[in-house]
Amino acid sequence: MNRCRRFVSDQEGFTLVAVTITMMVLSLFAVSAWAAANNALPGTTKDSDSKRAYEAAEAGVQWYQFQVQRDTNYWTKCADATNGIFLKGGRPATTATTGWRNVPGSDEAFAVELVGDTTDNATCQADPGSHLLTDGVLTVRSTGRFNGKLRQIVAKFRRAGFIDYIYYTKRETAPPPSYGNATNVQWAQDNCDQTRLTRPSGCTDITFRDTDVIAGPFHTEDSSVLVCGNPQFGSSAADKVEIVKAPNASSWYKQGCSGSVTPTGTLVAPAKSLELPKNNLQLASQATYKFKGNTCLKFSGATLTVYPNQTTWGVGGTVNCTGATTTYTLGANTVIWVANNGTCPDAYDYLQNYSNSSNCGDVAVSGNYGTNVTIGSEDDVIVTDDLKWANTSAMMGLVANQFVRVYHPVTPSNRSSNQGGCSNNGGSQVNEIDAAILATQGSFITDNWDCGSGLGNLTVKGAITQYWRGAVGTSGGNGYTKDYNYDKRLRYREPPNFLDPTTALWGVLRQSEQSPVQTG
């Protein structure tokens, strides 16, 4: 064997060593990877279990939402292991086999608790007194369970309601009492309670003027609105402009004169319906204070001065608050009810001189209020001067069985028709109303709207709900121009015991995870 051949042969041992070392290194990598994978496996399993527990909590919120949409009074049926709903702190132990509902087709489970308000003594009966609702909001806590892991979600529910809108009407036509004599009033009652598409032309339609501002969500059950120019509907694209009975989006308005309408809000036409309650009488059973007949209420912060049993209204064609008074210091949430004192013989007269019978449950309201109050009247609510909140935590509801009226006395007060010579009385003028307004059978309306000189802007900060479209001024310059602004606090709160639509569904306002998981 020559020198070169011996050299080559000597390399064979080096090759074997290199291969052996390489295999050892690769084996070490494989072992390390196997060890790392096995060490991570418990963490991965725990993370997966936690995610599935969260999904179970979400399923609980969705399940509860389905129940309250199927039955809007379902929230009053609780504290029963058979339906999986409990009061705050009452959910079963994590090892319990009953009271938890399994997610279909899964070992995941959830339990739902109704949290109630801060008094922490909620019961499962409908309000008043259950403490389940806080400002109309129902708080639900859903706990999800899987393989020993727990996650929890707190969800806020509220029914769709009239306070979701700055403006709501059932009919975009004038109320029958504005038609004058008894024959015409009866004709309007018999024929005008229909949508614009089907009601006769003799029904009085009211026009939105070019200068009118409706800054917030808008809703009418009618088929269209009548406009002149380009009034403002909505304050941003987030505000819905809902026309329930519109055949399609292109016919949502009718021109009363020239111009074209471009809503600031987002048009929804046709839209879903919200039905008004037939009356407001349920407030009588929820009232903190009750009065009868013509009554004056004057607010100053949390202080209320009451002028009961008024008999001098109508003297000089004005509202006169006289006589002995009683003063009350109001609590955090107050409901005031003014009933008829026997029979109220007088219907609303659009030629208004404030001479209704003293038996009628009419209530005159004014002042600056500093707490949460709802005022209900078996007849009319009359705002006789500015009505404003004294602080931004205060809310007021004005709920009339018939009309919520803006005080506007004129001279002569005994006019028999729209007389060109009539003038403003010169007394107090209403410029601003901060309230959620509801007229279940009548309108939000300005008294004597077609008489006297212009009154400027009527500013409303809140929400307006009415059966019939009430006039507040005329195109000729009488009365007011609308300046209606939605109170955004109403998205999450409401005045005490404010009325809900008869067909409204519950929806989730917001939800978030609660960590650590709570049991109490």
- Mean pLDDT lowest among 95-99, 104-108, 341-345, 452-456: 95-99
pLDDT at 135: 73
Report the alpha-carbon distance of residue 113 to residue 39 in Å, rounded: 38
By CB atoms closer than 10 A (0-12, 13-18, 19+), residue 132 is buried
Task: Tell me the pLDDT tens digit for each residue of 205-243.
Answer: 999 999 999 999 999 999 999 999 999 999 999 999 999
Confidence band, pLDDT 50/70/90 cuts, at residue 64: very high
Q: Is the pLDDT confidence value at 73 over 90?
A: no
Percent of the chain clearing pLDDT 70 (strictly above): 87
Answer yes or no: is pLDDT of 109 > 90: yes
Rounded to whole angstroms, how far apart are CA atoms 520 and 518?
6
Per-residue pLDDT at 117 exceeds 70: no
Q: Report the distance separating Cα 21 and Cα 209, nearest Å.
A: 92
| Cα-based distances in Å from 458 to 107, 170, 184, 281, 386 | 60, 22, 29, 29, 10
- Give the whole-angstrom CA distance, residue 201 versus residue 197: 10
Structure tokens at 15: 């090759």
Residue 409 preceded by cis peptide, ω within 30: no
pLDDT band at 444 (very low <50, low <70, confident <90, very high): very high
Domain ranges of the chain: 1-159+505-520, 163-491
- 46, two tokens: 């725990």
Q: Is the pLDDT of residue 204 over 80?
A: yes
Q: Look at residues 446, 484, 486, 439 and name the one whose alpha carbon lies nearest to residue 466.
A: 439
pLDDT for 98: 84
> Residue 38: its pLDDT value, please?
52
Nearest to 452 by CA among 484, 487, 427, 482: 427
Note the pLDDT tens digit of each residue in 154-173. Answer: 999 988 889 999 999 999 99
Concatenating the DSSP letter of every residue in 264-289 gives SSEEESS----PPPS-SGGGGGG-SE
